[in-house]
Amino acid sequence: MRKVLLFISLIFAISIANAYASGLTVEISKYEPYPAEPGKYVDVWIKVQNIGSDDAENVYVKIQPNFPFSIDEQSEKNLGTIIGGEEVLTRFKIRVDENAVQGDNYLDVAYKYNGYDWITKRIPIFIQTHDSILSIEKVYTKPGILEPGKIAKLYLVLKNLADSFLSDIKIKLDIANSSLPFAPINSTSEKRIYLLESKENATLVFDIVTNPSAESGIYKIPISIEYSDSVGEKYVRQDIVSLTVGGKPSIDVLLDETSILKPGESGDIEVSIINSGLIDVKFLKIKLLDGEYKKLSADTIYIGDLDSDDTDTVKFKIYANPTKEKKTTLRFLIHYYDKNNNEYTEYRNLTLNLYSSYEISKYNLREKPSYAIVLLIIIALAIGYFFYKRKRK
């Protein structure tokens, strides 16, 4: 029994001596880029060193892919013989999964030599998501379109796309530019978030007021974004959001004057179109629709631009159909666009009052010729007749 134990001990000692004489170490020399990024490739250099005195023969190194790493090329390489005290570098092109978690991830590297079994070593590779890890997911306002002179709320929805928390987040609206018709109200133009966990959202609300004289249109607002990641690296980004200024225009249509006082008469109707709102309009036109009258002139008149607080006047010539009614309805269609190219079509009705001959006389609705004018007309007719008779003789 003692001889058997002695023999086993001798064999064990020889194995240790051989292992020491031709021992290999495997470690990572470097990897690029650093840090590795999800969804991209990383070049990994593996250093195989013979720390013993004897040669290491039939040296093999291979990558054993495990999430989040994979390899598209041959995963096993034969390095041949590495003499004692020397080292060999070999490169592998590794794919990093797009769903890789930020932080240290471990790549399994196996090696063997001199006919021994495979030995596996885990090598750490640091992965960090791309620097655009804080995303503005959504921008909206209430109301959706900002009206001049009105207060509104601007909402920014942020999302942390990284696999770890972000901290010291600062969002600033750059609305100090005089060309922008906005100003913060009841708060500053800067908001902060102390901590935002991975994959979480946060909503920032800014109270802003639009200048009363602001013109309709789309305005680009610069935004400054600053934050730090979980390893303390700082990021500064610039972005832009767009806000729309506008609103529904307010167009009034009024009957100014008419020469038609009773049924069965023809004459002009004068109509005023008034922009009584804060929003300028363009491509404005007005059309006189069919009704209890006959149109004696063109039924559509193009006006074009009509700015806020401006007025334009148009005329139509019509014949009022005979009727016993005391009024008739004038029907109009107005069509226009605002400065944001929103289209509007509206129908308007105006009332044309009609009177009898007795009412026209009673209320002095139509001027009567004065007696002096009548006398002059009679004298002119008499003189004309006198010269006519004389010429004939």
Looking at the structure, tell me whether residues 226 and 259 fall in a common domain. Answer: no
- What pLDDT, in 10s, does the model give residues 205-225? 999 999 998 999 999 999 999
Residue 110 included in any domain: yes
Looking at the structure, tell me whether residues 27 and 123 fall in a common domain. Answer: yes
pLDDT band at residue 371, thresholds of 50, 70 and 90? Answer: low
Question: How far apart (Å, rounded) are the C-alpha atoms in residues 245 and 152?
Answer: 11
Residue 12 included in any domain: no
Query: Does position 97 have pLDDT exceeding 60, yes or no?
Result: yes
Residue 287 included in any domain: yes
The least confident of 318-332, 350-364, 365-379 is: 365-379
Average pLDDT over residues 304-314: 95
Looking at the structure, tell me whether residues 240 and 262 fall in a common domain. Answer: no
Query: Measuring CA to CA, which residue among 306, 209, 210, 324 is closest to residue 264?
Result: 324
pLDDT band at residue 368, thresholds of 50, 70 and 90? Answer: low
Predicted local distance difference test score (pLDDT) of residue 19: 42
Residue 316 included in any domain: yes
Average pLDDT over residues 160-171: 88
Of 10 and 355, the one with more pLDDT:
355
User: Where among 197, 212, 245 does a domain terminate?
Assistant: 245
Looking at the structure, tell me whether residues 63 and 158 fall in a common domain. Answer: no
Looking at the structure, tell me whether residues 289 and 318 fall in a common domain. Answer: yes
Predicted local distance difference test score (pLDDT) of residue 370: 54
Looking at the structure, tell me whether residues 208 and 282 fall in a common domain. Answer: no
Please state, rounded to an integer, the average pLDDT across all residues of the chain.
87
Query: Measuring CA to CA, which residue among 232, 113, 77, 90 is closest to residue 164?
Result: 232
pLDDT band at residue 1, thresholds of 50, 70 and 90? Answer: low
Region of 331 on the Ramachandran plot (φ > 0 left; ψ -120 to 50 alpha; else beta): beta
Residue 10 included in any domain: no
Predicted local distance difference test score (pLDDT) of residue 38: 87
Q: Of the spans 169-178, 211-220, 297-306, which averages the highest pLDDT?
A: 297-306
The whole domain housing 269 covers 251-362
| Residue 328 near residue 264 (C-beta atoms within 8 A) | no
User: Where among 192, 214, 245 does a domain terminate?
Assistant: 245
Looking at the structure, tell me whether residues 342 and 323 fall in a common domain. Answer: yes
Looking at the structure, tell me whether residues 290 and 314 fall in a common domain. Answer: yes
pLDDT band at residue 8, thresholds of 50, 70 and 90? Answer: very low
Average pLDDT over residues 266-274: 96
Query: Does position 372 have pLDDT exceeding 90, yes or no?
Result: no
Percent of the chain with pLDDT strictly greater than 70:
89
Average pLDDT over residues 150-177: 91
Residue 370 included in any domain: no
pTM of the predicted model, to two decimals?
0.61
Looking at the structure, tell me whether residues 342 and 313 fall in a common domain. Answer: yes
Q: Pairing between strand 266-275 and 251-258?
A: antiparallel
Looking at the structure, tell me whether residues 193 and 235 fall in a common domain. Answer: yes
| Residue 94 near residue 71 (C-beta atoms within 8 A) | yes
Q: What is the CATH number of the domain that holds 186?
A: 2.60.40.10
Q: Pairing between strand 266-275 and 311-320?
A: antiparallel
Query: Does position 320 have pLDDT exceeding 60, yes or no?
Result: yes
Query: Measuring CA to CA, which residue among 57, 90, 85, 52 is closest to residue 71?
Result: 90
Helix (H) / strand (E) containing 12: helix 2-21
Residue 390 included in any domain: no
Looking at the structure, tell me whether residues 65 and 156 fall in a common domain. Answer: no
- What pLDDT, in 10s, does the model give residues 11-22? 444 444 444 445
Average pLDDT over residues 28-42: 89
Percent of the chain with pLDDT strictly greater than 90:
62
Predicted local distance difference test score (pLDDT) of residue 374: 59
Q: Which residues pair with 162 in a beta bridge?
A: none
Residue 386 included in any domain: no
Query: Does position 392 have pLDDT exceeding 70, yes or no?
Result: no
Of 349 and 393, the one with more pLDDT:
349
Query: Does position 389 have pLDDT exceeding 50, yes or no?
Result: yes
Query: Measuring CA to CA, which residue among 148, 223, 154, 219 is closest to residue 186?
Result: 154
Looking at the structure, tell me whether residues 152 and 116 fall in a common domain. Answer: no
Query: Does position 7 have pLDDT exceeding 70, yes or no?
Result: no
User: Structurally, how many domains does the chain consist of?
Assistant: 3
Predicted local distance difference test score (pLDDT) of residue 17: 41
Query: Does position 276 have pLDDT exceeding 50, yes or no?
Result: yes
Q: How far apart are the first and last CA of the chain?
A: 179
User: Where among 229, 245, 261 does a domain terminate?
Assistant: 245
Predicted local distance difference test score (pLDDT) of residue 12: 42
